[in-house]
């Protein structure tokens, strides 16, 4: 893992720890529990949001694809990432329809307006 990826991974560790053990087969319960463990209005969430926005502006994340959907990967699922993979997506429109059979956890940052993702704001 490069030093940049290690630094980026450190940013996500509080969120990854909060997501550990969630039962993603029950999305509403998982969402409620994640909000208890990692509130969207917490200092940790604010730090992650600010760091992601700075990296996006600097062009160090989301270096693949083109508007309206650019993307990149911080890490594949590894023991260091608590067996979560971390993908970053910068989109300003609907994304491709796809599924994650084992579930997924999303941390969404609105760059403008009040967008929703999977029906959540």
* Region at 98 (left for phi over 0; alpha for psi -120 to 50; beta for the rest): beta
Does the pLDDT of residue 118 top 70, yes or no? Answer: no
Half-sphere exposure of 101 (CA within 13 A, CB side): 0
Kindly state the average pLDDT of the residues 92-103: 75
- Orientation angle between helical segments 3-19 and 43-58, nearest 10 degrees: 150
Q: Identify the residue with better confidence: 17 or 2.
A: 17
Give residue 13's pLDDT. 95
Give residue 113's pLDDT. 74
Q: Which of the 8 DSSP states describes residue 40?
A: T
Cβ atoms of 74 and 8 closer than 8 Å: yes
Does the pLDDT of residue 39 top 60, yes or no? Answer: yes
Does the pLDDT of residue 5 top 70, yes or no? Answer: no
Does the pLDDT of residue 1 top 60, yes or no? Answer: no
Give residue 45's pLDDT. 92
- pTM exceeding 0.85: no
d(CA 96, CA 93): 10
């Amino acid at each position: 893992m490069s030093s940049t990826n290690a630094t980026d991974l450190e940013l996500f560790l509080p969120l990854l720890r909060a997501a550990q053990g969630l039962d993603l087969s029950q999305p509403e319960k998982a969402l409620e529990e994640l909000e208890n463990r990692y509130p969207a209005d917490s200092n940790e969430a604010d730090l992650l949001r600010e760091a992601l926005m700075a990296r996006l502006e600097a062009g160090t994340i989301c270096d693949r694809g083109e508007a309206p959907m650019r993307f990149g990967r911080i890490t594949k699922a590894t023991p260091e990432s608590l067996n979560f993979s971390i993908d970053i997506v910068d989109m300003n429109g609907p994304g491709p329809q796809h599924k994650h059979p084992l579930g997924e956890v999303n941390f969404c940052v609105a760059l403008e307006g009040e967008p929703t993702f999977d029906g959540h704001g």
